[in-house]
Amino acid sequence: MEWQETSCSKEIPNFETWAKAFRAYAALYLSYYPDKSVELLKYQGLIKKASLSYKWKAVLTYDFYFRQNLADYPLQPWGSPTQSCTLIVSPTGTWSSRAKRASPHKDPTP
């Protein structure tokens, strides 16, 4: 199987859409790493909880940075926020990450 990057991607406007996509991702991921099921459930819970407290774009940005960090450090647990993805919370209910990766959005939050 070969990964091919495409220019078109679907927007993920809310947690429900993210959860549906995450379940598909988790099904494939767990076929390779079945011992990670509890961690994936914890991560989904973390994203759900964050979606109730923060703006969705900020939560989606954190998810992007977290997964990029996980690609670099695959032994990192899924179920808890990482120190390398430090969260900065503003009074407006947004957050951003200080990870050193590009944002998935055209107008990244600094």
* pLDDT tens digits along 75-84: 788 866 654 4
What are the distances in angstroms from CA 76 to CA 47, 54, 57? 17, 24, 24
> Percent helix, strand, coil in the chain (nearest 5)?
50, 5, 45
Instruction: Kindly report the length of the chain.
Output: 110
| Triad 73, 33, 80: Cα angle to 5° | 50
pTM for this predicted structure: 0.69
* pLDDT tens digits along 16-75: 999 999 999 999 999 998 999 999 999 999 899 989 988 999 889 889 888 888 888 877
For residues 2 and 68, give the distance between their C-alpha atoms in angstroms, rounded to a whole number: 19
For residue 7, pLDDT beyond 60: no
Domains of the chain by residue range: 15-97
Query: Which DSSP category does 36 fall into?
Result: G
For residues 2 and 57, give the distance between their C-alpha atoms in angstroms, rounded to a whole number: 30
pLDDT at 73: 82
| Triad 71, 77, 83: Cα angle to 5° | 80
